[in-house]
Structure formats: structure tokens, C-alpha cells
Amino acid sequence: MAAGEAAKMSLTVADAVDYKGFPADRTKTGGWVPAALILGIEICERLSTMGIAVNLVTYLGGVMHLPSSTSANIVTDFMGTCFLLCLLGGFLADSFLGRYRTIAIFAIIQTMGTGMLAVTTKLPQLRPPPCHRRHDADCKEASGFQMGILYVALYLIALGTGGLKSSVSGFGTDQFDDKDEKEKSQMAYFFHRFFFFISMGTLAAVTVLVYIQDEIGRSVGYGICSIAMFLAIIIFFSGTPRYRYKKSSGSPIVQIFQVIAAAVRKRNLTLPYDVDMLYEDAPEPSRIHHTDQFQFLDKAAIVAEGDLHSMNMAGSGPNPWKLCSVTKVEEVKMMARLLPIWATTIIFWTTYAQMITFSVEQASTMNRSMGSFQIPAGSLTVFFVGAILITLAVYDRLIMPLWNKWKGKQGFSSLQRIAIGLILSTIGMAAAAAAEMKRLSVARSATNASSSSLPISVFLLIPQFFLVGSGEAFIYTGQLDFFITQSPKGMKTMSTGLFLTTLSLGFFVSSFLVSVVKKVTSGGGGEGWLADNINHGRLDLFYWLLAVLGLVNLVIYLICAAWYKPQKAKPAAVQMKAGGGEDKC
């Protein structure tokens, strides 16, 4: 009887249920098929978001007749909001909705947004009258009403993207049991290939989708995005009976505030000489050992006289706003240790923002002919995505095996990959500045500098796309690995959201820099570095500024990486290293 019951228990996943609320049967739920259905909705999300973002700057300038700096800021603000809203999606998933409902609701919102954008770009009443060149005096900018409708569509898409991104990777890994060795290896494979597949979605966006937008029509391209998302939702719902669902453990933000509130309340108390005197109620297997960093937070675990009285009166655990266990305090410390690394990776995404704004603007002024075929300016980012895919393949097939033979480790650590990404992006900005100096020299010597196509090949921009693209391959996988593996088990959704906010803040910093540089450099009455017509500006100096900022940030990052001390005894953390090795830079 006991043997039969044990066999029955082995067929279920301990911390997951099926769609009816019963313990999940591992033979009928989870695994690669449900994970692939979830991954499909992320691929379509990336197709939609990037298909819009990489070519939006040309629409804002060429159709809505906005200045180049204004167009760039609209794109970066849109992308920044997409990733910032990941925090909202993560909070709702952790606290109320769960990952399945969060994905379903926000996927529908994004579908509505892309559908509205398709309609917006189709109706002539929602764009200004066409003109030959947007810098002509009779060329009118889009009205406030026209831009308002466009903003509604874009920010519906941003809301949908934020909710989806916060939960898709987590719900995908929920389909594998990390306590089963076979499924744990499958989860590591899913985790390692996740970025590769979403890059394929980006590749389709910057090639096929951008070509359709430019040659057939924006409304057709955006309509395809909406239809793709609708089909992805149907496919996602079809897997409902096969998914594994894990119960929400509550918002980790509340736990963080509880620890801080308890520590502040007891700020005048003295820490005991023996850390074993601090309060601990977590089961032995899940405890996290005390560390010496951020000792102020340890005061949240000091047992005061009133705490014992309230525990006896309640007959249960202590008030978490007054007394927290050492394990809860250490979980908050683990999150605090991530913050310096988090802050020093923001500048990379500021650099990245230039690849879908000013670099596309550069491409639109250059010779893009390949025989009789004209490459759309937005499609030049294919070299960016190609660099990502090539780098991932080389790293997976060449670097990792060689590193394993030499160092005995499965590739670079997450902190090392982040450092490599920062180095490549800094070199990429220097290459971009050099290419822009050459382009400007051609523009000045051209007989008609306002011409839509200068006599210089667009392939001059390949190095900057390739360097920043290779940098993204390293830094994205490094950040995702670092923020998930170095965070407490109950805070992994929040940690993923924290990682995605670096993308958000990178785009917002780009918008801020563009506004400041434009205001400062055009103060003397001239057009400044970022002129409405980039042929009359000094975009090369803006790129040099970003290269210098990147170099300064790299030095600060290396200091933070050397300071970082990973939690050595962290049984509460899921071990699913994508690259292996210790987190030392």
C-alpha cells in the first residue's frame, strides 16, 4: 500500500497543480510541448514590438513630419515604457492573477493595440498631408489629435508587452520540475535557448515585416502583427489542460517593505554578539545563512520583548512588520546586492537605443541599393540581429567547449558576460562615431546635402550594428542568468522585472540625453549636434559622448562586480546556470 502510494506521489509534481486544481500529473502536464506553446506567444510578441519599434522612427519623420530628435525620443519612450510596465505585470502575476491569467489578459491587450495601430496608419485623417521633403516650409507636422490617437495605440501595445514579458519566461520554466534531474536539464535547455528563439522573432520583424511596411503599407504590416498575436493567443489557450500552474506566493515587494519597516523600527537596538540569537523560523533545509553585508537590516530579526508577547497572544507567528526571520532578511539582502550590477548595466541599453533610432535615421540618408533592390532603412538592423545569432552560435559551439577544456567551467560566468557586453557596446559607439564622421564629410561635399540618398554605402554602418548586437548577446543572457540565479526563489519574477527595468531606464536615459544635448548644443542659435536634418548636425559627437560614458560606466561596473559577493549557501535559489562558473568578473 505504502509502495503504491509512493509511486502515485512520484507521478505528481509537488508544488504544481493542473488546470482543475489537482496535483499536476507529470505524465500529462508540463514538459517541452506546453513550454513551446508559451514560447510561441513570446515570439509573436517580439515580432510585433520590434517590427513596430525598428521602423517607427521613419514613420514619425517621413509620414508624421516630426524632427529627428523628437522621433527618436518617441521611440525610446515607447520602448522604455514597454519594459517599465514589466514591474506592473510581475506584481499582478505574483499577487493576484498568476502567470497564466497575466499572459492571457496582456496578450489580448497587445492584440488590441496592434489592431488599433493598423487602423490608425490606414486612415488619411490621422496623418498630415504628404509632402515631398519633410524639411520644406510647407510640410506640416502631425496635429495633437493625430499624435494622441497614435499614442493610445502605442501605449496599449506597451501595456501588453510589459504584462507578457514579466511572466512568459517564468511560466515556461514552471513546466519543468527542478527536483527531477531529467526535467531540470530540460529546463536549463529551455532557459538557454529562450533568447535564441525570441531573436528569431526579431529577425523576422526587421526583415519581412519592415519590408512589408515600406513596400506594401504600414497598415498591412501592423495588421499582420495583430493577426499573429491573435493566433498565438489561440495556440496558448489550446495548451490550458497541459500546463502546470504554481500558486502565487504573494508579492515580494511586501516582504521587502516588511524587513525595512522592522529594521527602521528597531534602529536604536544593538545587534547581539551571537547571530544565532536572531529570530529564525524557516525550516532547516530552506534557511539562508547570515551574511555580514547590510547589517542594518539584521535589526529586523532582533527579538524584542513586545515581539514575544504578541506571538504568545496570537498563538501563531510574529507580526512580520515588527519581526522578520534571518532567512527573510537575507533574501532582501540578496536583492540589495543585485542593485549595483543593475545600475551599471543601464548604460548598455542607452547605447542599444541608438541602433533603432539615430542609426536607422543615418541609414535612411545613405545609398541602400543592392542591384535593383532597395534595402528598407529599418531592415538594416538585420545585421544587428544577425550578430546576436552568430555570437550565440559561436559561444555555444566554440567558446563554451574551449573554456570547459581550459578552465573546467561551462562558459563565462554571468558577470563576465555582462562585462564583455559593456566592452563591445563601448567599442560599437566609437565605431558609430567614426562612421558618422565619414558620412558627414560626404554630406558636406555633396551638391545637394538635403538629398534623400547620399553617395555613400549604408554598409558603412555594419560595424556598429555588429558590435552592439554581439554585446547584446552577451549582456542579455548574462543579465537574465545573473538576476534569476542570484535572487531568492520567491522573488524570481520580481528579479526578472528588475532586469527588464534596465532596458526601460536605458531607453529613458537615451531620451533624457537627447533632450539635454539638443538644448545645450543649440543654445547659440545654431542647429546643434542633433539637428532636425542630421546632415546639418554633429551626430558623431553625440556618439563619442556615449562612448566616453560607456567607458566610465565599465570602470564602475568592474568595481561593483569585484565587490559583489554571491550567497554561498542558498538552498532557496534555483540552480539553473545558463553559462556556469562562479559569479566573479
DSSP 516-572: HHHHHHTTTSS--SS-SSGGGS-HHHHHHHHHHHHHHHHHHHHHHHHH----SS-TT
- What gap in Å lies between CA 459 and CA 386, rounded to an integer? 14
CA neighbor of 68 nearest in space, from 522, 549, 548: 522
| Residue that wins the pLDDT comparison between 176 and 179 | 176
- Read off the pLDDT of each residue in 546-561 and give the average, rounded to a whole number: 95
Query: From residue 68, how far is each of 204, 351, 445 by CA, in Å?
Result: 26, 17, 22
- What gap in Å lies between CA 489 and CA 303, rounded to an integer? 26
36 SS3 class: helix
Is the pLDDT assigned to residue 33 strictly greater than 90?
no
CA neighbor of 85 nearest in space, from 54, 49, 56: 49
Q: List alpha helices for 315-375, DSSP H.
A: 326-344, 346-355, 358-364
Is the pLDDT assigned to residue 6 strictly greater than 60?
no
- Which residue has cell 496558448? 236
Is the separation of the CB atoms in 500 and 86 below 8 Å? Answer: yes
Mean pLDDT of the chain: 82
pTM: 0.76
- Read off the pLDDT of each residue in 206-219 and give the average, rounded to a whole number: 85
Could you tell me the pLDDT band of residue 432, with boundaries at 50, 70 and 90?
A: very high
Give burial (CB, 10 Å; 0-12/13-18/19+) of 210: buried
Question: How many other CB atoms are found less than 10 A from the CB of residue 305?
Answer: 7
Could you tell me the pLDDT band of residue 135, with boundaries at 50, 70 and 90?
A: low
- Read off the pLDDT of each residue in 222-248 and give the average, rounded to a whole number: 89
Is the pLDDT assigned to residue 340 strictly greater than 90?
yes
Residue 506 amino acid letter: G
- What gap in Å lies between CA 422 and CA 551, rounded to an integer? 8
| Residue that wins the pLDDT comparison between 422 and 368 | 422
CA neighbor of 78 nearest in space, from 65, 92, 97, 59: 59
Which of 2-6, 392-396, 574-578 is predicted least confidently? 574-578
Question: Across the chain, which distance is largest between two alpha carbons, in Å?
Answer: 92
% pLDDT > 90, the chain: 20
Q: What is the pLDDT of residue 73?
A: 86
Is the pLDDT assigned to residue 315 strictly greater than 60?
no
Query: From residue 174, how far is each of 161, 477, 545 by CA, in Å?
Result: 20, 19, 43
Distance separating the N- and C-terminal Cα atoms of the chain: 54
What is the separation of C-alpha 83 from the centre of its chain, rounded to a whole number of angstroms?
A: 6
Is the separation of the CB atoms in 80 and 106 below 8 Å? Answer: no
| Residue that wins the pLDDT comparison between 5 and 242 | 242
| The CA-based dihedral angle spanning residues 225, 229, 231, 234, taken in that order and rounded to the nearest 10 degrees | -170
- pLDDT per residue as tens digits for the range 85-122: 888 887 888 777 888 899 999 999 999 999 999 999 88
What is the separation of C-alpha 576 from the centre of its chain, rounded to a whole number of angstroms?
A: 19
Give the CATH fold of the 337-585 domain: Growth Hormone; Chain: A; (1.20.1250)
Is the separation of the CB atoms in 269 and 292 below 8 Å? Answer: no
- What gap in Å lies between CA 29 and CA 17, rounded to an integer? 9
Is the pLDDT assigned to residue 309 strictly greater than 70?
no
Q: What is the pLDDT of residue 127?
A: 86
- What are the residue boundaries of the structural domains of the chain, listed by start? 18-247, 252-334, 337-585
**18-247 carries CATH number 3.40.50.2030:** no
| Residue that wins the pLDDT comparison between 107 and 170 | 107
Q: What is the pLDDT of residue 3?
A: 47
Q: What is the pLDDT of residue 62?
A: 82
Q: What is the pLDDT of residue 582?
A: 43
Query: From residue 95, how far is each of 89, 174, 211, 264 by CA, in Å?
Result: 10, 17, 42, 25
- Read off the pLDDT of each residue in 187-193 and give the average, rounded to a whole number: 66
Q: What is the DSSP letter of 23?
A: E
Cell, residue 336: 540589495
- What gap in Å lies between CA 31 and CA 183, rounded to an integer? 7
- What gap in Å lies between CA 259 and CA 275, rounded to an integer? 17
Same-fold call for 18-247 versus 337-585: yes
Could you tell me the pLDDT band of residue 349, with boundaries at 50, 70 and 90?
A: very high
Is the pLDDT assigned to residue 465 strictly greater than 80?
yes
Q: What is the pLDDT of residue 430?
A: 95
Is the pLDDT assigned to residue 8 strictly greater than 50?
no
Residue 6 amino acid letter: A
Top-ranked range on mean pLDDT: pick from 326-335, 486-495, 549-558: 549-558
Is the pLDDT assigned to residue 52 strictly greater than 70?
yes
